[in-house]
Amino acid sequence: MSVSFRGFVTINHVPFSCLLLKALKIHPISQRFASTKTLKETLQEVIPAKQEQFKRLKSEHSQKVIGDIKIENVIGGMRGLKSMLWEASVLDPNEGIRFHGLSIPDCQRQLPPAPGGKEIIAESMLWLLLTGNVPTEAETRKLSLELAENGDLPAYVEKLIDGLSPSMHPMTQLAIGVAALNHDSVFQKAYESGIKKTDYWTYTLEDCLSLIARLPALAARIYRNVYKQGATAPPINKDLDLVGNYTALMGYGANKDLTEYLRLYISIHGDHEGGNASAHTAHLVGSTLADPYLAYSAALFALAGPLHGLANQEVLRWQLAMQKELGDNTTHENIKDYLWKTLKSGQVVPGYGHGVLRKSDPRFIALQEFCDSRPELLKSPTIQLVKKTYEVAPGVLTEHGKTKNPWPNVDATSGCVLYHYGLTEFKYYTVIFGVSRALGALTQLVWARALGLPLERPKSVSMDTLQAIVGKNA
């Protein structure tokens, strides 16, 4: 088993320099070893090394300055400030997301797919995010079985969800269901009985895995109640992975292409560093020692905002409106005219731009490559329109001059593929995002407890205070 962290790795309990392994052209994370360890047993090996690294940073380097605070940071939503610890992923403006150093193409090559499938599955990404290791196929299958065995909803949650009005937004229902599951929180019960701080992470892990296991059944029940009333769900299949069961529970089990697409989408969408609104909300609420159910329900409410998780449905609305106006025989020139029409009306072009990225989103590229590999998607007028828009929009947005990043983000294509495969209910798309983002937000709650991160409490200032600072400096 390989355990990686900054500076060195241990392989079979023997420490090796990362520089030495690099010189020998051995990537510590990419090596696979036959293993029968569970996810928790693997974490028990990984955590002590990370705790030691954390202690060294705190004791030896806590006073080192890593950035400057400007007034634009204070009044501009703290954008870009390096002020949050997040181990699972790092987002580079030009390279895009990396999960423990692995790019999306790296993950596609190395992380185990489902039996008979080609795309990454949520379990292999979950293992990577939580441990920093690439799991073996055996470890991935074992985790799939563990999640499936714990995937049924308690009767009280089924009754609660069934009692909600079908007109209530699916995201509101999802957040309500997740919050209600805190009735079964082992962390909350253990904390109330009195446990050592060093044991917090083990109970948090149990809650997080339980929540991830139940999310497909919860999200699928909401889908059926709102859009397929009267449809019955099959039992959870213990031979399927998390997403395989999710699509089956929604009623799309026979649609293998949709299942493969969702495997890829949910995996590469599972984490996007900690500064985005939903991940940050989970971290903030979790820092109060709220249990994972409460922390993630709060994250879901953040995800439901139009500036965050609702973007994919807005892209699809805009694309379909353009398709209706232009017809199926679109050209680059009439797409360009439609883009200028959108911009001159005071609207933004949905699916383009990003708070951090300054290049095309690697997640968008991965989903486009998925489309390019399937003849039925290449023939789809909607998917072809996405591709043609990508060829025109960056130039128009650059000429327009008001967009820092004229390149597409993942939302530029994600909802359009769902629409093609028959999942046409726009309002539900963010629920799928919510199932996905649990992978990153919940794994980092485990690490926050393992490292003993404190209550998050930034210092706020008033405009008068800022004005005084400006006057003093002047």
Angstrom distance (rounded) from CA 209 to CA 131:
14
DSSP for 174-186, written as a single string: HHHHHHHGGGG-H
- What are the mean pLDDT values of the chain's consecutive 10-residue runs (474 residues total)? 41 42 43 68 96 96 91 88 93 93 97 95 98 96 97 98 97 98 98 97 98 98 96 95 98 96 97 95 98 98 88 86 88 95 92 85 95 93 93 94 87 92 94 97 98 95 92 75
Tell me the sheet residues that pair with 17: 8
4 φ/ψ angles, rounded to the nearest 5 degrees:
-115, 145
Four-residue CA torsion sign, 150, 156, 159, 160: negative
Strand, coil or helix: what is 272?
A: coil
**Closest listed residue to residue 437, CA positions, set 261, 265, 222, 210:** 265
What CA–CA distances, in Å, run from 394 to 92, 240, 352, 390, 403? Answer: 20, 41, 8, 7, 10
Contact 127/143 with Cβ under 8 angstroms?
yes
Active-site residues, by number, are 308, 354, 411
Strand, coil or helix: what is 4?
A: strand
Exposed e or buried b per residue across 396-413, where buried means at least 16 C-beta atoms within 10 angstroms of its C-beta: bbeeeeebebbbbbbbbb
pLDDT score recorded for residue 147? 98
Residue 462, both tokens:
């008033």
> pTM of the prediction?
0.89
Contact 5/101 with Cβ under 8 angstroms?
no
